Amino acid sequence: MVGQPKHLSDLARIEADVRITCRQCGFEEDWQRDAFARHLFALGASQVWSEITRALRCRRFGCGSTNLRAAAVPFARRAANMPRRVGRLDAHLLDTAMKVLEQAVHTSRGRAVATLELRLALLVVYRYSHDRDGVRHFWQRASAADRTVDDGLVEPLRSIRHHLVQAGWLAPAILVDVPRTWPWNSPPPPGWLVAEEES
Ligand SMILES: [Zn+2]
């Protein structure tokens, strides 16, 4: 196809997906065309290509910018905002390591959880994030049995996850779109649902 599409339905012919990129923070998200059409319909938003991002905002947690760009990408379909291609083994390793850490956090109340298993998980994390302080911090707290609630493992785990997200190894948390309902009788602006009529 030459040039920009005119309407979202134009993408059906070339079987392209839609990639939404945030101009503010670079967050990228790929949508299947029909899923994106349903999403826009639920928001009451236009499917005309030039105004396709008007009702949307960046879904990266903590950004929420409305300055977005849409592009038609044939057969794109990546997980949201994976800035680098992560190999399957890397993804599995990190996924498993994070699960071990999460389990340690769950069972850590009032006892030491510094097991060999946990050490292996932390070594895996270190292999990817090179976050020496974060890993050491987690290990030290995991080794202490007399922890109070305040120095639990939740905060070190958050820091480790943050580093992995920053380095592109994990996909970041995503804001869930909650369509707002327009409370007045006037036509709702883009991004708002029509209020249900009272019977
Ligand atoms: Zn953003």
Residue 49 alpha carbon to ligand 1 centre in Å: 20
Residue 82 alpha carbon to ligand 1 centre in Å: 14
Where are the domains positioned within the chain?
Answer: 8-81, 88-166
Residue 42 alpha carbon to ligand 1 centre in Å: 22
Residue 109 alpha carbon to ligand 1 centre in Å: 36
Two tokens, residue 48: 């005309």
Residue 53 alpha carbon to ligand 1 centre in Å: 13
Q: What is the pLDDT of residue 52?
A: 92
Contacts of 8 (CB under 8 A, 6+ apart): 18, 33, 36, 37, 40, 47, 48, 49, 52
Residue 23 alpha carbon to ligand 1 centre in Å: 7
Residue 199 alpha carbon to ligand 1 centre in Å: 41
Q: What is the pLDDT of residue 199?
A: 47
Residue 29 · residue 82 · CB < 8 Å: no
Residue 52 alpha carbon to ligand 1 centre in Å: 16
Q: What is the pLDDT of residue 165?
A: 78
Residue 50 alpha carbon to ligand 1 centre in Å: 19
Angle (nearest 5°) at CA 157 between 153 and 160: 145
Residue 151 alpha carbon to ligand 1 centre in Å: 32
Q: In whole angstroms, what is the distance from residue 31 CA to residue 77 CA?
A: 7
pTM for the structure as a whole: 0.53
Q: Mean pLDDT per 10-residue run, the chain (199 residues)?
A: 79 84 86 86 88 89 88 71 70 92 87 90 92 92 77 87 80 69 79 67
Q: What is the pLDDT of residue 195?
A: 72
Q: What is the pLDDT of residue 179?
A: 67
Residue 57 alpha carbon to ligand 1 centre in Å: 8
Q: What is the pLDDT of residue 100?
A: 95
Q: In whole angstroms, what is the distance from residue 10 CA to residue 21 CA?
A: 20
Q: What is the pLDDT of residue 121?
A: 96
Q: What is the pLDDT of residue 157?
A: 92
